[in-house]
Amino acid sequence: MRIDRTVVQNWLLPVAALVAWEVLGRAGLAPRYLSTPSAILAALWEITLTGELFTALAASLYRVAAGFALGTAAGIIVGLGAGVLPGVRHFFDPLVSFLYSIPKIAFLPVFLLLFGLGHASKIAIIAFSGFFPVFIASRHAVLSVNRILIWAAQNMGTPPRTVFFRVIVPAAAPQLFSGIRIGLAHAFVVLFAAELIGSKVGLGTIISYGEEWVRFDLMFAGIVCFAVLGFLSDRILLAIRTRMLKGQMIGTEEQVMR
């Protein structure tokens, strides 16, 4: 079997890094806090057996899913509204342009005090930070819809409602998804910070527990789970996007990026 050169080159660096990590870690040449890939796998297996992993995963997943769904829904509704109705646009534009430049995580202490240490505060802050990129993308998307499409529909006597659902929304959809994708990335960053700063369960808690009890294998196990969760969520979103936008994304960056 002939092995493709590109594939070899693609895998070269990650595999080399993993092997070097394992070898150096075993030889005691790497600092102890770096652990080794095999120890991390063992720790992953350990928390799978004790069930800790599932409790943490369920908590983190619930928070990120609920917060992301709320923030995205609000962002789409208000953003589309702002795109269509100048009144809504004029109300939200100044607020968003000021709040957008603030890291939403700065409000975490306020949210913790308002909603407590449980799920609610994390869901609220994730929704809050996810709202902005989705709002901005939807608003811009609606405003940049080709006027000719709307005129053409109106010319054929289409009622405003149908113009909105059959012309504006589909035409705005690709940009909307880019906003949602940014919102998803924000959601995980905020989730991590919120779980590290004030939480009793979740993947962030496993990581900080590993740090506190000098179980670096456990810390990395948490990091790996967190990374995989974020990666998979993004891929699922891209898959949904591809299905929904069939034929609308030829030659776009995401398509090139696979």
Partner 1 sequence: MTAFARQTRALIARWYSIPLLIVVWQLAVGSGLVESRLLPSPERVFTALVTEVGNGTLVYHAGVTISRALTGFVLAALVGIPFAAAMARSTLIRNLFEPIFFIGYPIPKIALFPVFTYIFGIGTPSKIAFTVLECLYPIVVTCYFGFRGVQTRLIWSAQNCGANNVTILRRVILPAALPSIFSGLRIALPVAIIVVVITEMIGDSIGLGYYITIWSTRFTFANVYAAIIVIGICGLVLDQALLLLRRRAVYWQREAA
Sequence-distant (6+) residues with CB within 8 A of 24 are 30
Q: Tell whether residue 116 is a contact of partner 1 (CB under 8 A).
A: no
Q: Tell whether residue 240 is a contact of partner 1 (CB under 8 A).
A: no
Considering only CA atoms, which of 180, 84, 114, 68 is closest in space to residue 92? Answer: 84
39: its two tokens? 């120890």
- Calculate the CA 2 to chain-centre distance: 38
Q: Tell whether residue 231 is a contact of partner 1 (CB under 8 A).
A: yes
**Which position among 102, 117, 239, 240 is part of the footprint of partner 1 (CB under 8 A)?**
102
Q: Are 95 and 102 within 8 A, CB to CB?
A: no
Q: Tell whether residue 101 is a contact of partner 1 (CB under 8 A).
A: yes
Q: Are 92 and 98 within 8 A, CB to CB?
A: no
Q: Tell whether residue 109 is a contact of partner 1 (CB under 8 A).
A: yes
**From CA 194, how far away is CA 123, in angstroms rounded?**
10
Enter the DSSP assignment of 104. Answer: G
**From CA 227, how far away is CA 254, in angstroms rounded?**
20
Site string for partner 1, 1-40 (x = CB under 8 A): ----xx--xxxxxx----------------x-xx------
* Distance in Å, CB of 172 to partner 1, minimum: 15
Q: By CB under 8 A, which span of 38-46, 50-58, 105-113, 161-169 interacts with partner 1?
A: 105-113
**From CA 190, how far away is CA 193, in angstroms rounded?**
5
Backbone angles phi, psi at 96, to 5 degrees: -70, -40
Q: Tell whether residue 177 is a contact of partner 1 (CB under 8 A).
A: no
* Distance in Å, CB of 258 to partner 1, minimum: 7
Q: Tell whether residue 61 is a contact of partner 1 (CB under 8 A).
A: no
Which chain residues interact with partner 1 by CB under 8 A? 5-6, 9-14, 31, 33-34, 90-95, 97-103, 105-110, 112-114, 140, 143-144, 185, 188-189, 192-193, 196-197, 207-208, 211, 219-220, 222-223, 226-227, 230-231, 233-235, 253, 256-258
